[in-house]
Amino acid sequence: MQPAFSVLFLTTLIGVGQGMLVALVAGQWYYVIGSGEAWESDAFYAKGAAIALVFLAAGLLASFFHLANPQRAWRTATRWRTSWLSREVVVLPAVMGLAVIWAGVHWFEVKPVLLTFSNEKSLDLTMAVGFLAAGASIVLYVVTAMIYACVRFIREWASGWTVTNFMLMGLASGFTAAAAYAALSGSRLTDFLVAGAIGLTALAGVARAAHLWRNLHLAPPSTLRAAIGVRFEPIRQITPGFGGPSFNTTEFSVHGGAGSIRGLTWDFFLLAFLLPVLLLAAGGLSGEGPFTVFAFVLQLLGLIVERWVFFAQGRHVQNLYYQAQG
Amino acid sequence: MSKQLALVIDLNVCVGCHACVTSCKEWNTSGWAGPLPDTNPYGAQPSGVFFNRVQTFECGTFPRTETIHFPKSCLHCVDAPCVPVCPTGASYKREEDGIVLVDYDKCIGCKYCSWSCPYGAREFDEIQGVMKKCTLCIDRIYDTSLPPERRKPACVLACPAGARLFGDVNDTESEASRAIIDNAGYQLMPEWGTNPANHYLPRRKIKMTLHKDELVRADNPLKVEGELPKPHFNAPSIDEMSSW
Amino acid sequence: MRDPVTSRDADFGPTEVKTTTCYMCACRCGIRVHIRGGEVRYIEGNPDHPLNQGVICAKGASGIMKQYSPARLTKPLKRKEGCERGINAFEAIGWDEAFSLLSERLGHIRSTNPSKLALFTGRDQMQALTGLFAKQFGTPNYAAHGGFCSVNMAAGLIYTFGGSFWEFGGPDLDRAKMFLMIGTAEDHHSNPMKIALAKFKRSGGRFIAVNPVRSGYAAIADEWVPIRPGTDGALLLALIHEIIELGLFDRDFLVRYTNAAELVNIDAASNEHGLFVRDPDVPVRPDTFDTPDKMWLDRLTGKPVLARSSGCDGRLMGESVLENGTPVKPAFQLLKERVADYTPEWAEQITGIPAATIRRLAHEMGVTARDQRIELPIAWTDAWGEEHDKVTGNPVAFHAMRGLAAHSNGFQTIRALGILMTILGTIDCPGGFRHRTPFPRPIPPCPKPPKGPHAIRPDTPLEGSPLGWPAEPDELAVDAEGNPLRLDKGFSWEHPLSVHGLMHNVITNAWRGDPYPIDTLFLFMSNMAWNSTMNTVEVRKMLTDKNEDGEYKIPFIVVADAFQSETVAFADLVLPDTTYLERHDVMSILDRPISEFDGPVDAVRVPVMPPLGECKPFQDVLIELGTRLKLPAFVAKDGRRKYRDYPDFITNFETEPGSGIGFLAGWRGKSGEKFMVGEPNPTQWDMYARNNNHYHYELPRSYQYMRNWNKGYLEWARRHRLVRYTDPITIHLYSEVLQKFRLAAEGKWSGKQPPDHLRERVGTFFDPLPFYHVPLEWAAVDTRRYPLAAITQRPMAMYHSWDSQNAWLRQIHTANVLYVSPLVGTASGFGDGDWVWVESQWGRVRCQARFSEAVEPGTVWTWNAIGKAAGAWGLSPDADEAKRGFLLNHLISEELPGAQAGTSVSNSDPVTGQAAWFDLRVRVVPCGPDEPAETSPQFAPLPAVPGQTGFTGRMRAFFAGKRP
Ligand SMILES: Nc1nc2c(c(=O)[nH]1)N[C@H]1C(S)=C(S)[C@@H](COP(=O)(O)OP(=O)(O)OC[C@H]3O[C@@H](n4cnc5c(=O)[nH]c(N)nc54)[C@H](O)[C@@H]3O)O[C@H]1N2
Ligand SMILES: Nc1nc2c(c(=O)[nH]1)N[C@H]1C(S)=C(S)[C@@H](COP(=O)(O)OP(=O)(O)OC[C@H]3O[C@@H](n4cnc5c(=O)[nH]c(N)nc54)[C@H](O)[C@@H]3O)O[C@H]1N2
Ligand code: SF4
Ligand code: SF4
Ligand code: SF4
Ligand code: SF4
Ligand code: SF4
Ligand SMILES: [Mo]
């Protein structure tokens, strides 16, 4: 498939935003259930949520570039019963709304206690909203990934791995972002977030590798025999019926093809997983903030490349009908 | 069963002339679905929006080769996968007649429906920013200002070989259904469960069987000319051996 | 959203429907043009038209984009003073200037030497008018596309049975049971053929395609018989061999309706050798075509008798000696001897078709013709007065076109096809071949070319017609020394029966001044600087080549075209024509009408749009010119203008004063009460318009079949002035006409004789019976070095070079590739999609190769006329047509080494002068790694011309009328 840059940015940027929300909420929860050291101020969470919101908003903005008629974008919310794309359109604002509320209750310290635990720590309103926001973020991963995973006609995408990966990569990048934020603001949560980022990045790398491995061994989804209903083989297309390009050749294939995909796969493994893990570890050990920031920047870049590869690798069944140049 | 309008395309007589391609473009560009724009119309790499394309395939190896001309437009799938995925509801399947349409006033041009069509039947209009596809000439087939026999899709009326039949494939009495039943009409890629309404009729071969004894006949002109070699009178006959 | 169901198309604005006749190709279908807001909204087939019955083709449906083409010319143009030809340096002028310039120049030519005007027209449909103009002007140098198109098909069959395929007749697929299509990709009867073929297949007919390539029609054949190009003669002769061998021929038909039983003088020493023996006691009318004085060998008595004597039956085989000692054989016996060695095994070696397949095909044809005979209860009377109570038909139909025609052995190959059809008894009968009015014609038809220099005189119309049908050597257009009278050497000893001229040699001959230099080359509707010329690169140079004195070798070139074609660039004067939607036209019985099997049909085209800019219908231009030049047909005795314009001309012109014969056959007579013959009718155009622009006369059923010998029909035809005589048109299984030329070559003819260096050539190829010879080019080429045959074919969605300007059609065929068998790629070391050089002895082109299993492995092919010169046709210079498209024409030579050292002859059939496009031999080699992925040769991009419509902008979103 032809990767659309708007979609690359949308999915990676909101992934970061969602992941950051989850990371920060996890940090807060970690304090609640943990040994009590990793306390952070409400302002820290509020600012963190704001940063996450920036990512979410940037993603949303990017998505508009994908629409030829953005003025009608509101309509996209109407088919949430059947369309994952529509569901995303519902859930993304929900996540953003929850993030705003979460930031708000922190900032204004609206934190009535809702529950007190045996370790004397308590679940207050900020925590509860945080859970909602984090939960919604997780749901959004599923929803976003399902947009692609439910396209049966692209076997590379139609897999649980798509969902797993969107989630793991989003979380990993979100944790890295949060770790960088924490490190820069000298937060006590830094170690926790760095550890989380390292763990999730490694996991995401492994899962992505597994997905790639799976895709290497996909049986062809359909045959030319079935496509045109003729049994007499071998079958070759002589012309698709036109001599130049068409929507069905530009949208469903990539310039550069297999060569660039292979090269970029190595690139993104390096950028999105290997280097960030090393940099995060270095940052964690040395306590130098810039390492984690650098890790995040590389990872985000790597994930954009990863997303490009993800799209480019999708081979659509319809291509059976568009094999020859006229 | 409810009505399902569709095309039945007879590969046995389609000569690949592209009449259906351009007549479709011609009707639709100035009509309800139009315009269907063309990019670089007079430059390098021209391309444009067409609802119907005629592709060519070769099967087998020389000298046993079949050349197949294969027209393809939206198949108006009964279980159209392109419809539920549309986030705006712009893509829809009409209950009255099963035609799958796009409402250009709702479409945001996200192209998601095209990803959900295994047949590559949708094409994007860059100018209007909406997805387009074969409408089954809905603006012709119900237009009461046209004489009844012209209320057919433009491509069907154009096709010089009569290779395109139009009708209700759920009505077993329709010409389209009869053609499917009589000629083993089939659907494309049934394995995806899309249940395309358009059907294709396969190649049918006419052969001739000749028996050796049909080659020579009693009134063979060679005989009239006295040219058929007659056995000589003295040539051996069974008389030499028979004993009854 | 506008509801597509309740909102009608009319809601976008009122639409007006006008009917006219399509001219996106020469098929001439009836169309209905819907116009909204002054623009074309929709063009559909006219359901009330007999030809296309409501269907339309890809081109016809794209007529809108021709109307709005960026290549349209809108102003008369004159080459800019001081600028060279070929670079589109023009200034716009007015029609007044154009006319005075032209009439002055042509007037001078006419009053000095009319031959110095060469008027050649390409794929037009108005040869009756252009031919009339040339004849009136007095020049013999006139022809249309026929010579480079399919004259072999016309001549080969018309000299055999008085009709042909192409626009003259065709297969009756309504009733045929078996159909062989040989060497046809699309042909002129585009839509009717598709309608008929599909119906034929649906009703269970067996369809066999003989073609090196399986595309288009051949794709849906029940059996594809791949054949090596140029070898069909061998296949057809082997089929004839097998059919004769098994007695599967229709003896009765042969004896009655052909010259098969007529006795031929076989005395090699005689001056009458090879002619039919004649009974001197039988009186013969001097003007008869089918003389009644020939002889038969009576089957019952074994004696020579007067042919068709009552109570006799002619023998087809055997031999005899006349009382005067002349040894004779029936023509059929000679045919039988001719094909004796043409066995299926022999043909297999040549054609690549297994002998068993050839045998089987012969058996299938023979048995189908014999056992599935159709009998229609139609009574008719034959030319000899015998009454028949039924019409019978042997339902084996054939169709063939340029696959046979465009070879230098095409004439004899097509003769073989005519004879195969004849021995199966399938001429003008149900299920077989059917004529279309005005065919059948006498063999040969009456018009004759000018017979000597006396026929060409200043200020005088030509004696004879520029094109005609020689029946004997004395009717050739040569002077006393045997030199050609025509610029193209038509009707000379090089190509005696070149009945459509040799347009493909015009530029070369004019450039060389051989046989003589000319002054003005006037081209109409012909792209002679590109796709209709051979050796394109060199020919383009000839158009700009100059004498030592700095004058162009071809002093003045006039081009009448509607679009910015490659040829326009070479003009000194450009006359912008209208499109077919903007003008009147007639499809006349005097020309090639659109007749049906059941009777004559002629048709008109009427304008449905106003002319764009200063475009003027070329018909009007000719009439204006004719008037200014005071050509007798266009002015009254006192020199006054006779016709206001073309429509007026069509209404009032009569072939001779008071003849009652004009261009249109329908609604003649003062108030339209007559047809075929009758006084001019002032409201004739309206009557055509009211009848969907055509006139169809359905012959009585008893006149619809067996028209060569149908007394009723022949008398009807004479009454309506289609023919002069009612003599039967007996099939020339054996061609005495050809034998007369051979006798001349042998020195046994008392009249004109060929110059010595051509005697052998004429003697060889003017064989009265068909024979197989390899195409001439193969003899001039090392075929081991150039092992592949290279051919082109027409795509159904493109008409020659016209349609690259069409935004819709060009998307279908944006560029062309060379289709080759994978075996060729393996042998020469290139892969699918690689760039290759295609090399012939005469030149080379670079293009992209594509593997195909649907091509005979010794053949390579490409679509015709897709490649364009950069910047032509309103396309941008980097258009794919110029960068990836190519012309095979660059590789084809217009001349071959001649019969004499140091001379050259046209690369054509030696009998008819048919351009031998498909004789080309090539090899294919991979390109070097550093070569550009671009076709070669390339030409300097042409700029637009003044007044050209043009189109800039990245997108075109055509919507007729205003969008609501
Ligand atoms: N290699 C190869 N070459 C071939 C052939 C082949 O098979 N192979 N086929 C040959 C044959 S059979 C033919 S008939 C020729 C055809 O060759 P041409 O007779 O040259 O035909 P076209 O290419 O159609 O070009 C005719 C010209 O007519 C112009 N034209 C179109 N419409 C109008 C109009 O309404 N008015 C006027 N005045 N002009 C108009 C076009 O712009 C164009 O310049 O090509 C021959 N060339
Ligand atoms: N769409 C469209 N229609 C047209 C035209 C057009 O340009 N476009 N041009 C019109 C004109 S001017 C003409 S003359 C007619 C021509 O109509 P066709 O005769 O159909 O013309 P070609 O395309 O030259 O087809 C030649 C066919 O013969 C095959 N062939 C070549 N060599 C041989 C051989 O040696 N033996 C056999 N058996 N087959 C061979 C080729 O593969 C090809 O299929 O078409 C007319 N109709
Ligand atoms: S118009 Fe008919 S014959 Fe021509 S390509 Fe289309 S379906 Fe085939
Ligand atoms: S062919 Fe494609 S676009 Fe048409 S209904 Fe089926 S899935 Fe939808
Ligand atoms: S492109 Fe239009 S029709 Fe297709 S899914 Fe998007 S909104 Fe729906
Ligand atoms: S039914 Fe109408 S819209 Fe569909 S392919 Fe045919 S002409 Fe085009
Ligand atoms: S076959 Fe020729 S005349 Fe008929 S519609 Fe097509 S282009 Fe027009
Ligand atoms: Mo032609």
| Block residue for tokens 């020389």 | B62
Identify the CA nearest to C776 among candidates C247, C240, C410. C410
What's the CA gap between B99 and B3, in Å, rounded? Answer: 10
| Shortest-distance Cα residue to atom 6 of ligand 5 | B110
In terms of Cα–Cα distance, which of C736, C753, C759, C760 is closest to C273? C736
Q: Which of B49, B107, B117 to mutate to test the pocket of ligand 5 (most atoms within 8 A of CB)?
A: B107
CB C744 within 8 A of CB C762: yes
B142: nearest CB among C5, C363, C854: C5
- What is the topology classification, in CATH, of domain B5-201? Alpha-Beta Plaits (3.30.70)
Burial C807-822 (b: 16+ CB within 10 A, else e): bbbbbbbbbbbbbbbb
Higher pLDDT, B186 or C287: B186
Q: Which two tokens stand for residue C597?
A: 């099997």
Average pLDDT value for residue range A93-102: 96
Query: What is the mean pLDDT of the segment spanning C114-130?
Result: 93
Range C32-46 average pLDDT = 97
pLDDT over threshold 90, residue C8: no
Quick one: which of C490, C479, C396 has its CA closest to C155?
C490
For residue C766, pLDDT beyond 90: yes
Contact map slice: A 239-258 vs B, CB within 8 A: 239-248, 251-252
Q: Which of C700, C572, C752, C594 is closest to C81 using CA atoms?
A: C572
Q: Extract the tokens encoding C508.
A: 């070369």
Q: Give backbone dihedrals phi and psi of C696, rounded to 5 degrees, phi first.
A: -125, 115
One DSSP character per residue, C104-118 reads HHHHHHHHH-GGGEE
Name which residue sits closest to atom 35 of ligand 2, judged by CA: C229
Tokens of A196: 């989380």
Residue C798 tokens, joined: 């493109």
- What backbone torsions phi and psi does residue B131 show, to the nearest 5 degrees? -85, 140
Q: Rounded to whole angstroms, how far apart are CA atoms C871 and C948?
A: 12
Taken in order of first residue, the domains within chain A and their CATH numbers are 5-226+238-325 (1.20.1630.10)
Q: How many CB pairs under 8 A join A and B?
A: 177
Q: Which of C429, C61, C36 has the alpha carbon at shortest distance from C250? A: C429
State the smallest CA–CA distance between residue C814 and chain A in angstroms.
Answer: 5
pLDDT-derived band at A284 (thresholds 50, 70, 90) equals confident
Q: How confident is the model at residue B213 (pLDDT cuts 50, 70, 90)?
A: confident
Mean of per-residue pLDDT scores for chain C: 96
Atom from ligand 7 closest to the CA of residue C52: 4
Residue B229 pLDDT level (bands cut at 50, 70, 90): low
Q: What is the distance in angstroms between the CA of the first residue and the CA of the last residue of chain B?
A: 77
- Contact C792 CB / ligand 1 (< 6 Å): yes
Separation between Cα atoms, residue C624 and residue C602, nearest integer Å: 25
**Does residue C294 have a pLDDT over 90?**
yes
Coil, helix or strand at residue C263: strand
Closest-lying ligand 5 atom to the alpha carbon of residue A83: 5
Q: Ligand 5 atom 7: the closest Cα is on which residue?
A: B107
Are C166 and C153 in contact by the 8 Å Cβ rule? The answer is yes
B171 Cα to the center of ligand 3, angstroms: 24
This model of the complex carries an ipTM of 0.96
Question: Taking Cα atoms as reference points, which of A173, A169, A94, A100 lies closest to residue A136?
Answer: A94
- Element containing residue C30 per DSSP (H, E): strand C30-36
Q: How far, in Å, are B135, B188, B197 from residue B167 at the CA level?
A: 14, 18, 10
- Alpha-carbon distance of C394 to C420, in angstroms, equals 13
Q: Which of A64-78, C465-479, C480-494 has the lowest mean pLDDT?
A: A64-78
Instruction: Evaluate if residue A35 carries a pLDDT over 70.
Output: no
Q: What is the dihedral of CA C106, C107, C110, C113, to 10 degrees?
A: -80
The full DSSP string for A127-159 is HHHHHHHHHHHHHHHHHHHHHHHT-TTBTTTSS
Q: How far does chain A reach from its first CA to its final CA, in angstroms? A: 20
Determine how many CB atoms are found less than 10 A away from the CB of residue C125.
24
The rounded mean pLDDT for chain A is 93
The per-residue pLDDT for B244 is 65
pLDDT in tens, B95-153: 999 999 999 999 999 999 999 999 999 999 999 999 999 999 999 999 999 999 999 99
pLDDT above 90 coverage of chain C, percent? 95
Contact yes or no for B88 and A226 at CB 8 A: no
Look at residue C684 in the predicted model and tell me its pLDDT.
97
Mean pLDDT of C428-455: 96
Region B17-36: mean pLDDT is 97
Tens digit of pLDDT for each residue in C930-944? 999 999 999 999 999
The ranges assigned to domains in chain B are 5-201
Q: Kindly give, in sequence order, each residue whose CB lies less than 8 Å from that of residue A36, ignoring residues fewer than 6 positions away.
A: A119, A121
Q: Which residues are CB-neighbours of C150 under 8 A, at least 6 positions away?
A: C166, C401, C402, C405, C406, C914
Residue C252 pLDDT > 60, yes or no? yes
Q: Do C811 and A243 touch (CB under 8 A)?
A: yes
Instruction: Report d(CA A288, CA C708) in Å as an integer.
Output: 106
* Confidence grade of residue B241 (pLDDT, cut at 50, 70, 90): confident
* Distance, CA of B57 to chain centre: 14
Q: Which amino acid, one-letter code, is at C654?
A: E
- Give start and end residues of each alpha helix (H) in A247-313: 247-250, 257-268, 275-286, 289-313
Residue C927 sits at φ, ψ, to 5 deg, of -80, 160
- What is the spatial distance between Cα B19 and Cα C190, in angstroms, rounded to a whole number? 11
Query: Candidates B112, B130, B134: which one to mutate for ligand 5, based on the most atoms within 8 Å of Cβ?
Result: B112
A 10 A CB-CB count for C282 gives: 13
Mutation target among B75, B93, B189, B198 for the A interface, most CBs of A within 10 A = B189
Name every chain A residue with its beta carbon within 8 A of the beta carbon of B190: 226
Read out DSSP for C633-668?
Answer: GGB-TTS-B--SSHHHHHHH--SSTT----S--SSB
Mean pLDDT of A7-31: 94
Q: What is the pLDDT of residue A117?
A: 77
Residue C320 CB neighbours (<10 A): 17
Q: How confident is the model at residue C855 (pLDDT cuts 50, 70, 90)?
A: very high
> Is the model's pLDDT at B233 over the cut of 60?
no
C-alpha span between A319 and C734 (Å, rounded): 59
- In angstroms, the CA C575 to CA A196 distance is 81
C558: pLDDT strictly greater than 80: yes
pLDDT value at C834 more than 90:
yes
Give the percent of chain C with pLDDT over 70. Answer: 100
> Which chain B residues have a beta carbon less than 8 Å from that of C367?
210, 214-215
> What mean pLDDT do residues C769-781 have?
95
3-state class (DSSP) for residue C561: strand
The secondary element (H helix, E strand) that includes residue C580 is none
Instruction: Identify the band that residue B28 occupies on the pLDDT scale cut at 50, 70 and 90.
Output: very high
pLDDT digits (tens, 9 = 90+) for C52-87: 999 999 999 999 999 999 999 999 999 999 999 999
Kindly determine whether residue A321 and residue B88, on different chains, have CB atoms separated by under 8 Å: no
Contacts with A243 from chain C: Cβ below 8 Å: 810-815, 880
Of A236, A243, A325, the CB nearest to C813: A243
**Cα distance from C832 to chain A (closest Cα, Å)?**
11
What is the reported pLDDT for A37? 65
Contacts of B109 in chain A (CB under 8 A): 67-69
- Would the CA dihedral through C911, C915, C919, C922 be positive or negative? positive
| Interface check A243 vs C, CB under 8 A | yes
In chain A, what residues touch B58 (CB-CB under 8 Å)? 235-236, 238
Distance, in Å, from the CA atom of C535 to the CA atom of C532, rounded to the nearest integer, reads: 10
- Encoding tokens for residue C879? 């258009």
**Closest to A230 in 3D by CA, of B22, C219, B177, B76:** C219
**Please, which chains are in contact with B (at least 3 CB pairs closer than 8 A)?**
A, C
pLDDT band at A289 (very low <50, low <70, confident <90, very high): confident
Residue C224 near ligand 1, beta carbon < 6 Å: no
Block residue for tokens 């070095």: C785
The C-alpha atoms of residue A220 and residue C633 are separated, in whole angstroms, by 74
Tokens of B30: 């100035």
Mean pLDDT in residue range C737-748: 98
With CA atoms as reference, the chain B residue closest to C298 would be: B225
- Residue B91 CA to residue B102 CA, distance in Å, equals 4
C577 and A CB contact within 8 Å: no
Write the residue with the smallest CA distance to atom 3 of ligand 6.
B134
The answer to whether the CB of C57 is under 6 A from ligand 7 is yes
Query: Which residue of A lies nearest to C852 if distances are taken between CA atoms?
Result: A238
DSSP character for C455?
A: G
Sign of the CA dihedral with A212 first, then A214, A219, and A222 last:
negative
**Which residues does chain A have within 8 Å of residue C812's beta carbon, measured at their own beta carbons?**
241-243, 326
Question: How many whole angstroms separate alpha carbon C528 and alpha carbon C542?
Answer: 12
Residue of A nearest to C809 (CA): A242
Q: What distances in angstroms separate CA C462 from CA C448, C465, C622, C624, C758, one per listed residue?
A: 11, 7, 17, 20, 28
Q: Is the Cβ–Cβ distance between B115 and A151 less than 8 Å?
A: yes
- The whole-chain average pLDDT of chain B stands at 94
B9, B77, B107, B124, best to mutate for ligand 4 pocket (most atoms within 8 Å of CB): B77
Please list the residues that pair with C16 across neighbouring strands: C35
pLDDT per residue over B45-96, tens digit each? 999 999 999 999 999 999 999 999 999 999 999 999 999 999 999 999 999 9
C-beta atoms of B55 and A321 within 8 A:
yes
Question: How far away, in angstroms, is B134 Cα from ligand 6 center?
Answer: 5
pLDDT greater at residue A276 or residue A114: A276
- A147 Cβ contact partners less than 8 Å away, ≥ 6 residues apart: A84, A85, A88, B112
> Which of A2-6, B236-240, C400-404, C522-526 comes out lowest in average pLDDT?
B236-240
- Cα C887 to chain center, whole Å? 21
C204 to chain B: closest CA residue: B206
* Region of poorest pLDDT, from C253-257, C480-484, C858-862: C480-484
**More confident call, A257 vs C208:** C208
Which of C220, C803, C811 to mutate to probe the A interface, most A CBs <10 Å?
Answer: C811
Q: In A, which residues are within 8 Å of B187 by CB distance?
A: 229
Instruction: For residue B132, report the phi and psi dihedrals to the nearest 5 degrees.
Output: -130, 165
Distance between CA atoms of C24 and C7, rounded to whole angstroms?
Answer: 32
